[in-house]
Structure 1
Amino acid sequence: MPTLKSPLVPCLALAAGLLSAPAVAEEERWYQVELLIFSHENGASDEQWEPLPTLAYPDTGRFLVYPQQVAARAEAHEGTSEVDEFGRQFLRPYPEPLAEEPAPTPDIPRREAASPPPEEEAPPVDAAAEPPPALPLTPTPFVALPRSSAEFYGKAAYMQRSGNYKTLFHETWVQPVREKGAALPLIIDRSGDSGEWPRLQGSVTLHIARYLHLETRLWLNTSGDYLPGAWQMPAPPLGPVSLIVEEPEPAEEDYFAVDAAMDAEQDPVEDALPAVGETALEEDAGPVYPWRHAVLMQQSRRMRSKEVHYLDHPLLGVVIKLMPLDEEQLQAMAEAEIAEQQAAAQ
């Protein structure tokens, strides 16, 4: 996996190992996916919601890659940046330079070695042999595409202006859709990075059998106005981490200097006791869940490509469309991606 520092190279290059994968494999069908998730701001308040829904992230999932976000993080980081096959970005310090070793003293050649070695005959070249056919290319999957690639933006903006709906997630990307056992859920929030609970959390999974299938495991954090009293549910889990920052290893301290410093310190037991009139500091309890309740949307929908599908819920709505991509389209997208990388690197 290549590393980069300059933000001029888009994050597509970070996942370039996927770019040259044996492309439009016969077993894989590629699609351009557009997914819109919104809330009903005037959702039914008389619904009876499960007080303690089972909320969980998948054991293994992946993230969308946002090129500008990845480039900005790489530019602000003093080190290298890498995006893995799950869409996680790793920021690492530059490796320590290796100590230079003295160049070895060349041996004095023997008299017999003064004459050049006999030339080996090159193997005959078969003029009729053809070079192996180039593998078709595919674009890097799971990279958020520009807004111009989306079909629903005008409708989503109109819905939001009405005041009855609020867009919580709206992205477009390309991906191969695999059978259920090989499909990875897509995690749609970054709560694992922020340490905070956004309004929308969870994951969606696309897989294919005879038909395309969408499975949602989403939950909406709410103010709980529909709940009696002041009861609050326990905080749901935060998502997995998508940004991993590796710190440089601390320099080794001199043993004797550390030992002398410890001897100079006061009695640790005496230091641990609060002075008269003081109280011991409370342990950090971590972030506080700012919502009262979460409502789960766990649904499954069988779909056809080229059609808009809508999953309904009293508090949430999901709109999705998958457009199939043929080999020619994938090749063109991959070539455009390579051209963009080359232009950015100049």
Structure 2
Amino acid sequence: MKLRKIITYSSLALLLSSYGPVALGQTAEDSNYEEALIDMELENQPPWYQVNIIIFERGKFLPTGNGEETWPKNIALAYPPNVQELKTDEEPTEAEPDAESQEQDTLQLRMPNTEEAEQQNKEKSYRQHLSEMAYHILEAKDNELQGEARAIDRKYRILFNKAWRQPMQEEALAPSIIIQGGEKYGRNNELAGTVQFSISRYLHLKTNIWFAEFETNYGQEKEHWPPLPLSPNEIEITQEKESLASFSTLMEENENPLSLSFNNLGLTTNVTSDNSYFKVTSNVEEAPFLTKNIVLMKQKRRMRSGELHYIDHPKLGILVLITPVENDRLKTLLLEAKTAELEQLNSNLTGE
């Protein structure tokens, strides 16, 4: 395999603006090689689409007896096993290495340890760039439902309004995308759950979202609602906090064995008096908010690309627009990503 030459930022920028002409400092072989790499990668990709979705609150929960519908409590709330979180610029993710990048890494071990070789070794493959582009929240200017969002916002409360691009796969392979929106009460959002977009003959949407109402916990009796599940990311954060808290408690007890020990179940002490006050206080601190109502929205909908779809519910409304991302557009996005990457690598190399 011929080792790929490092294409300078200026030459790739010219390539981006004109796929055909040969740029200064760039040979026709370089230009054709870059285009061939992208074309080969896109040939192996499923079709890409841009997903635009708005979820809004249609009606407030009313007190019991005021015409409010009684919502079932025997509902199962859970995240499916194959989930995908939406990405933001504030949370950079590392793309998984692919066969091409691993082969390049192996070949780089045989090259002299020069600055150019180190820079080439840091370059990402186009597959890695595609992986980083997928499920990345787009800027507001690229959201195709901004006009609809402004109209909805005049009458209803928007809970979630996002757009992203993704490869569209068959249902068995398609990930369920984590949705979180509305206000946050403790560790839980008002709106949570997942949506899944897949493709067969048509596009398909599957919703698994729940909308909850909360009230302040002052020690009252709890309603018999099912527990609200935490997202995988929240579980990881919670486990880290619990591990740190357990370690801190252990250190304190080792320093002073006679000190009182507080844990998640309440106050533990060798005092024999009634500790109900302390237990209630501990429970309120553990869960400052209680669930007052939950509605679950589980639906399946067949969709067509380029058409605006509305999914209705007494408490929620969902507006969805899915549009195809053509290969030419993907090619431009990939070259823009490569240009930005090489600009940063060259800057690091020159110290500018």
TM-score, scaled relative to structure 2: 0.59
* Among 23, 27, 42, the residue aligned to 1:24: 42
Contact 2:178 2:193 in 1 (8 A): yes
Instruction: Please name the residue that 2:177 is paired with.
Output: 186
Contact 2:191 2:210 in 1 (8 A): yes
User: Following superposition of structure 1 onto structure 2, how do residues 128-277 of structure 1 map, counting pairs within 5 Å?
Assistant: 138=130, 140-162=133-155, 165-189=156-180, 196-222=187-213, 231=223, 233-241=225-233, 273-274=270-271
Give ranges in structure 1 of 5+ residues lacking alignment. Answer: 1-18, 72-81, 86-133, 251-257
* Among 52, 58, 72, the residue aligned to 1:34: 52
User: Following superposition of structure 1 onto structure 2, how do residues 319-330 of structure 1 map, counting pairs within 5 Å?
Assistant: 319-330=319-330
SS in structure 2 at match of 1:333: helix
Contact 1:197 1:289 in 2 (8 A): no
SS in structure 2 at match of 1:64: coil
Q: Deviations over 1:26-60 (max 9, x none)?
A: 56110111111111035795433212322111123
Contact 1:190 1:241 in 2 (8 A): no
Instruction: Please name the residue that 2:301 is paired with.
Output: 301
Instruction: Please name the residue that 2:106 is paired with.
Output: none
Aligned length: 250
**Identity in percent:** 27
Distance apart, 1:64 and its partner CA: 0.3
**Alpha carbons of structure 1 residues 135 and 236: separation in structure 2 relative to 1, 3 Å:** closer
1:51 aligns with 2:44: no
Tell me how far apart the structure 2 counterparts of residues 222 and 59 of structure 1 sit (CA, whole Å): 26
1:64 aligns with 2:86: yes
Distance apart, 1:344 and its partner CA: 5.3
**Alpha carbons of structure 1 residues 320 and 180: separation in structure 2 relative to 1, 3 Å:** same
More helix by share: 2
Moved more, 56-65 or 236-245: 236-245
Distance apart, 1:217 and its partner CA: 0.3
Instruction: Please name the residue that 2:291 is paired with.
Output: 291
Instruction: Please name the residue that 1:334 is paired with.
Output: 334
CA radius of gyration, larger in: 1
Instruction: Please name the residue that 1:127 is paired with.
Output: none
Moved more, 140-149 or 40-49: 40-49
Contact 1:200 1:220 in 2 (8 A): yes
TM-score, scaled relative to structure 1: 0.60
